[in-house]
Structure 1
Amino acid sequence: MSDESHENEPAAETPLRVFISVAEESADMHAAALVRAARSMRKRWEFRGLTGPRLRDLGVETVFDMASHAAMLAGVLGVVRRGMRAMKAVRADWEAHRPDVAVLLDSPELHLPLARVARRMNIPVLYYIAPQTWASRAYRNRKIAAVVDRLACILPFEEQYFRDNGVKAEFVGHPLFESLALQVPDETRVTALRESAPIVATTSSSATREASARPPLIALLPGSRKHVIRSIAPLQLETARLMAEKLGSLRVAVSAVSAERSSLIEEIVRASGVPAEIVINDNASLLTAADFVLVASGTATLHVAHYRKPMVVMYDAGRLMGLAFRLFGGRVIKTPHLSLVNILANERIVPEFMPLRPRPAEVAEAATAILTDARRCEAVMRRLDEVVRPIKESRASDRVCGLIEELAGAGPALSN
């Protein structure tokens, strides 16, 4: 073959080398969606990093195994413990395989120090899923501005908030809704839950429900972490029992994120004496079937809002946080509302019982007041839909891919 023919051959495309880091289960899920979106584009991407099970299933090369599914549910302390061991591995990896961009998802306890290392090595940093400094720990804003080249925000108001604090931020949409769009409820399961989930009934009720009325299905979402489940699930079950006293009867089903968590929840249900069905990894069917939801605080409230279900949010932040809240109030928590749906709406759409340990009698009173008022129920569902619609409409993974390409092209020039 002549030299001229070699000159006419297209040059091999240089891959875009991305280091991606996750430390918790939700971040692993959102990172996997990002990798799938990137691979659907024409450009070649190479991913390696601190991975979880979903990233490894996609073939992302693992620099350090951030944990099994179970360990990724261990919370902040688990992140810090493993993060200290991971940091040394990352430094060595970046020396040998310098990435074009480092993409760090959530977990500021790990990722702000890691971003500082990247800054020292002149590696552009995209931080995806911003630390919620607008609620507490605002001192972190200075650190973020110093070590992060671009911040991809998943809540609409965060973009201006972080820009006002010197951070180059952009709202990309919430990745949760990409995964929810792919989840299809099992209609057979939905019907079975409505008709066959265990009934909690009382003969002492003063409620005047018609005998032919279908008992409402109350879904309990106690979270994914063991300490949260142990704290909240018993309170949710007791709340359901008290609601049954007011309503006459109802059905109860509890969400479990895995078979392992199902075993823990089964123990709690048995100890409570409240009959309940446990639904493993199928919130699409459970929330489609539910008439009302008792949900632990966090992203799960957006999950419930996606299905337009009335809810009460409950969370116990623990003794230390509770003491701090009692002593210092607004100096600890900067927002007038604490649950995510109310924060987004900037109004109290749904009752929230947090951060102090909820009292089941008060929660049951608030929940029953909504459930027995059809007009109020409809108003709550309508407002929830209005609140989440702007977040649903943006394809977060595609937009983050665009930011990665921008950073890779501009390199350190984008640094603050």
Structure 2
Amino acid sequence: MTKPLADQKRPLQVAMVAGEASGDILAAGLIKEIKRHHPDVHCYGIGGPLMQGEGFDSLFPMDRLSVMGLVEVLGRLKELVGIRRQLGDQLIQNPPDIFIGIDAPDFNLGLEKQLKAAGIPTTHYVSPQVWAWREGRLKKIKRSVDHMLALLPFEASYYQGHDVDVTFVGHPLADKVAFSPDKGKARQSLSIARQGLVVGVLPGSRKAEVARLGELFLTTARMLRKEVPSVRFIVPCANDKRKVQLLQMLENYKDLDITLFDGRASDVMAASDAILIASGTATLEAALHKRPLVVSYRMSALTFAIAKRLVKVEHVALPNLLAGRELVPELLQDEATPENLCKAMQRALFDQAYQKELVHEFEKIHQQLKRNASELAYGAVKSVIESHHATKCA
């Protein structure tokens, strides 16, 4: 077991904020690693069910931070600013040993700036996509963050080139997902037949995502079933609210052979022959499961128009970004039609040469990202705390 950090006269105090399901996964892994070295640590702030399962004390509901889009956030701005102000005041009055912002840069960077100015060391886990758009945030990052924890190799190179302390930790999903996932075992765990074509459908974890993509994906599923009558569909529900939302939609799709699961996203991916999926972190998990996937997304017209002018990269799906080329189709906004999605899904299901190429490329991505991320992240966090203590005692 690691010795207590220098000059630590009380249990280690670690404040964190995660804003959505992917951040909850990352933070839960880090909390578990911190607890392995410091069993009496107190981790608190804003987090989700996985973090709370590791003993995290969430002072506000995480789902209040789960909002996507430049325009969509305006309707929640007053509430978000209020939560950030309350949390910032609490942390400054009772300073933690470190603050770790997990993704959610629009919320966390402002909070990190406030805390760093008050003498609290800060670390940010998951780089904001400054390499893709809004590069002006780099100045804010330098003022707000003592150390960046990067999940992707090109992110670390970017920060090193801009004189920001950074550690490339890899991605915890690459540590978690088996290199050769067992489709049969996954189907058995979900109590579905081992034989037959199965398509995983993942329309996102946020209410707005499911509202924009749910009907689109279900209509695509209906169209695909007309072409492939034997296909069945499986859908993981991110939480109870999303399950209710999807069940309401399914009232109009009773002709589909479709099964909903509470969570179980990883098992759904492993059990699938191909995956129809919303753009986001889940696209990387699908690739790590070595399954062909079709990526889609819709947002408000104004948000999309603004983003299109600002984004500097050619691709949005993480597998494509990591490969530096389009491995999997990205059908966004006006291109996201049932016809286009159905055609792409048929290729994903039946083009064996394409499937073989994808598996080869996905294996390379997996090897690149498998680095024991939570352990490396803990080591970086520990170094920041110790450096801060040494400076205070100098």
Q: Normalized against structure 1, the TM-score is what?
A: 0.81
Distance 1:146 1:50, change over 3 A: same
Q: Supply the distance in 2 between the matched residues of 1:272 and 1:191 (Cα, whole angstroms).
A: 22
- The size of the alignment, in residue pairs, is 376
Match of 1:349 in 2: 327
Match of 1:254 in 2: 235
The percent identity for this pair of structures is 26
1:281-336 CA distances to partner (integer Å, 9 max, x unpaired)?
112332222111111111111111121111111111321133346xxx4x421111
Distance 1:74 1:386, change over 3 A: same
In terms of mean alpha carbon deviation, does 306-315 or 97-106 score higher?
Answer: 97-106
2:117 aligned with 1:120 = yes
Q: Contact (CA 8 Å) 1:193, 1:289: kept in 2 or not?
A: no
Match of 1:201 in 2: none
Distance 1:139 1:217, change over 3 A: same
Equivalent position SS for 2:120:
coil
1:249-280 CA distances to partner (integer Å, 9 max, x unpaired)?
42122221223312211222222454122122
Match of 1:22 in 2: 18
Q: What is the RMSD of the two structures over their aligned residues, measured on CA atoms?
A: 2.8
Q: Supply the distance in 2 between the matched residues of 1:103 and 1:146 (Cα, whole angstroms).
A: 15
Q: Which amino acid aligns with 1:385?
A: E
Match of 2:222 in 1: 241
Match of 1:206 in 2: none
**Aligned residue runs from structure 1 range 360-371, under 5 A:** 360-371=338-349
2:94 aligned with 1:97 = yes
Distance 1:308 1:369, change over 3 A: same
Equivalent position SS for 2:37:
coil
Larger Rg over CA atoms: 1
Match of 2:4 in 1: none
In terms of mean alpha carbon deviation, does 277-286 or 306-315 score higher?
Answer: 277-286
Q: Supply the distance in 2 between the matched residues of 1:299 and 1:363 (Cα, whole angstroms).
A: 20
Distance 1:137 1:272, change over 3 A: farther
Q: Contact (CA 8 Å) 1:100, 1:408: kept in 2 or not?
A: yes
Q: Supply the distance in 2 between the matched residues of 1:306 and 1:351 (Cα, whole angstroms).
A: 16
Post-superposition offset of 1:85: 2.3
Q: Contact (CA 8 Å) 1:234, 1:272: kept in 2 or not?
A: no
Q: Unpaired segments of 5 or more residues in structure 2?
A: 1-6
Q: Contact (CA 8 Å) 1:25, 1:72: kept in 2 or not?
A: no
1:77-128 CA distances to partner (integer Å, 9 max, x unpaired)?
3875544223333343334422222111111111111111112112211111
Q: Supply the distance in 1 between the matched residues of 2:287 and 2:143 (Cα, whole angstroms).
A: 35
Match of 2:203 in 1: 222
Q: Contact (CA 8 Å) 1:310, 1:380: kept in 2 or not?
A: yes
1:321-372 CA distances to partner (integer Å, 9 max, x unpaired)?
33346xxx4x421111121110111011111102445011122122213322
Equivalent position SS for 1:19:
strand
Q: Supply the distance in 2 between the matched residues of 1:364 and 1:187 (Cα, whole angstroms).
A: 23
**Aligned residue runs from structure 1 range 43-192, under 5 A:** 45-62=41-58, 64-65=59-60, 67=61, 71=64, 73-75=66-68, 77=73, 80-180=77-177, 186-190=186-190, 192=192
Q: Contact (CA 8 Å) 2:149, 2:167: kept in 1 or not?
A: yes
Match of 1:398 in 2: 375
Equivalent position SS for 2:275:
strand
Q: Contact (CA 8 Å) 1:235, 1:360: kept in 2 or not?
A: yes
> Aligned to 1:266, which of 247, 252, 267?
247
* 4+ residue segments displaced more than 6 Å: none
Distance 1:140 1:38, change over 3 A: same
Distance 1:413 1:144, change over 3 A: farther
2:318 aligned with 1:337 = no
Post-superposition offset of 1:13: 5.8
Q: Contact (CA 8 Å) 2:186, 2:268: kept in 1 or not?
A: no
Q: Which amino acid aligns with 2:152?
A: L
Q: Contact (CA 8 Å) 1:315, 1:357: kept in 2 or not?
A: no
Match of 1:379 in 2: 357
Q: Normalized against structure 2, the TM-score is what?
A: 0.86
Q: Which amino acid aligns with 1:285?
A: D
Post-superposition offset of 1:44: 5.5
Q: Supply the distance in 2 between the matched residues of 1:243 and 1:288 (Cα, whole angstroms).
A: 20
